[in-house]
Amino acid sequence: MASPTFTWVVATQAAPTIEYSTRSIGFGDGYVQSSGEGVNNRPESWAISWTGTKSDCLTMMTFFDSLGGWKSFFWTNPLGQLGLYRCTNPTPSEVGGRTFQLTATFTKAYAA
């Protein structure tokens, strides 16, 4: 089954959270040997928010619920790069005037 595509327009933080996964071992003479941890050692996540109607918020939550937090989806990040991401923490909230906000974190995925 092909991964679905997240198509809603969202606001993001100015920058993603990126922290390379590495392993290092230090020796007594000050020498440190380092290597990348695994093949995909560049975790990336984006904090997003969306504001709109209750109906649209429910549609977006249905999208996330269908993926269950473990299935990935395609999303084009603010840098214009299409990739696979997962969302494990969608949080809808009412902000008043029949307007809802949904916040979440999209984390880079490496397999569908």
Average pLDDT over residues 38-44: 82
What is the value of pTM for the model shown?
0.82
Label residues 29-66 b or e (16+ Cβ within 10 Å = b). eeeeeeeeeeeeeeebbbbbebeeeeeebeebeebbee
Question: Is residue 74 over pLDDT 90?
Answer: yes
Average pLDDT over residues 80-104: 94
Question: Is residue 14 over pLDDT 80?
Answer: no
Q: Which residue has the higher pLDDT, 46 or 43?
A: 46
Average pLDDT, the chain: 90
Question: Is residue 85 over pLDDT 90?
Answer: yes
Report the percentage of the chain scoring pLDDT > 70.
96
103: which DSSP letter? E
Question: Is residue 16 over pLDDT 90?
Answer: no
Contact 37, 3 (CB under 8 A): no
